[in-house]
Amino acid sequence: MKWASLVLSAALLAYPLLLPDPFYLDVGLSFLLVALSASAWNIVGGYAGQVSVGHGMFFGVGAYAPLLVFNLWGAPPVAGVPLGIIISLILAVGVGTPTFRLQGHYFSMATIAVAELIRILVGTWPLVGAAIGLQGPAVGRAWWDLTFRSELPYYYLFLAVLALLLLITQQVERSRFGYYLRAIKSGERAARSLGVPVQRTKLYALMLSAVFTSLAGSLYAIKTGFVDPESGFGLLISVQMVIIAALGGAGTLYGPLVGALVLIPLQTATNDWLGGGGTGLTYILYGGIIVLLARFEPGGLHELWYAVAPKLKRRLQRKERPHAA
């Protein structure tokens, strides 16, 4: 695992230098953004097993807040990042407090409902641009507007935030909090009987998850300089996080990265082949992945690897033996 981390870090650091073409850089940025939001989702959806299908609400709040402070007061978009985090935390407590008393699918359903409600409200609220959305500064007034002509600085900014989240997740995995999350996922009743404060632990997980999902949204908006209800709060945003984490392996440190590594090139390729007319195809792609995961490997690629790797190893060893003899 140490080796994997090193190789991964090196590859991600070197990627824009090895492939400086703007197209590849753009794919790299999509990868980082999607890996970041899916890793944030993973804390509550993966480790704690509380599947949110409405994480778009935190992403959207995070995306709107920087552009809102710019539009209202001409403040640099970065100043809106803490605002996005605070609103996301309030939302997390608002959704989590009543639903985490219950077990099962209530939380999932509540998250879909709240996210859709917010998307519709934002789409009709003139202060936040209604259906048209919000725009950032067209030309950077100073460095603190973070409008770079090249995408390279964004790449490393995204990478830094992703690295921070993975470090925190790794610490969580080793701590009491992380053990409690996995215990809750395995069985709430048994967890309670061992003194795990189930409701509070789930709420903390959702709050931590919301903070980083909001950050992902903010990074997206600062880089793109534009957000509308669909690109901020769209159902596709929420579903993408679930798909990517589940594809790679929910509840594992690198699962969301593996998922993003598979899905982003796949998505880029399908969009490329079919041109702009293929946007609806994303849903079909996601649907196909859900079907395949549910049928063959609910644990995602992570589980698949652990099922296949020992067999591969044995086969390789068997081949080596005649040479040794």
Question: Which of 18, 139, 193, 276 is the binder for other proteins (CB under 8 A)?
Answer: 193
287 binds other proteins per the rule CB under 8 A: no
Task: Dig out the tokens for 278 from the structure.
Answer: 């293929």
In three-state secondary structure terms, 227 is strand
* Residue (of 214, 301, 251) closest to 36 by Cα position: 214
Task: Dig out the tokens for 318 from the structure.
Answer: 């068997």
Stretch that binds other proteins, among 124-132, 155-163, 196-204, 235-243 (CB under 8 A): 196-204
The one-letter code for the residue type at 214 is: S
Which runs of E-coded beta strand occur in 57-144? 134-135
250 binds other proteins per the rule CB under 8 A: no
Q: Write down the least CB distance from residue 284 to other proteins, Å.
A: 31
210 binds other proteins per the rule CB under 8 A: no
Stretch that binds other proteins, among 29-37, 59-67, 76-84, 191-199 (CB under 8 A): 191-199
310 binds other proteins per the rule CB under 8 A: no
Question: Which of 18, 138, 142, 194 is the binder for other proteins (CB under 8 A)?
Answer: 194
Instruction: Assess contact for 237 and 116: CB atoms under 8 A.
Output: no
Q: Write down the least CB distance from residue 55 to other proteins, Å.
A: 23
Quick note: the x/- pattern for other proteins over 160-189, rule CB under 8 A, is --------------xxx--xx-xx-xxx-x
- Residue 134: strand pairing partners: 227
198 binds other proteins per the rule CB under 8 A: yes
The helix or strand, by DSSP H or E, that contains position 210, with its residue range, turns out to be helix 198-224
Q: In the complex with other proteins, which residue's Cβ is closer, 141 or 200? A: 200
Q: In the complex with other proteins, which residue's Cβ is closer, 51 or 182? A: 182
Q: In the complex with other proteins, which residue's Cβ is closer, 57 or 191? A: 191
Q: Write down the least CB distance from residue 187 to other proteins, Å.
A: 5
Residues 6 or more apart whose Cβ sits within 8 Å of residue 290: 243, 246
Which runs of E-coded beta strand occur in the chain? 134-135, 226-227
Q: Write down the least CB distance from residue 260 to other proteins, Å.
A: 23
Q: How far is CA 223 from CA 76, 128, 283, 320, in A?
A: 13, 19, 25, 51
316 binds other proteins per the rule CB under 8 A: no
User: Look-up: residue for tokens 């993973």?
Assistant: 42
192 binds other proteins per the rule CB under 8 A: yes
Neighbour tally for 309: CB within 10 Å: 10
Residues 6 or more apart whose Cβ sits within 8 Å of residue 158: 29, 32, 33, 36, 219, 223
197 binds other proteins per the rule CB under 8 A: yes
Q: In the complex with other proteins, which residue's Cβ is closer, 189 or 323? A: 189
Q: In the complex with other proteins, which residue's Cβ is closer, 2 or 189? A: 189
* Residue (of 39, 13, 22, 37) closest to 254 by Cα position: 39
195 binds other proteins per the rule CB under 8 A: yes
CA distance 34 to 158: 10
Residues at the contact surface with other proteins, assessed by CB under 8 A? 174-176, 179-180, 182-183, 185-187, 189-198
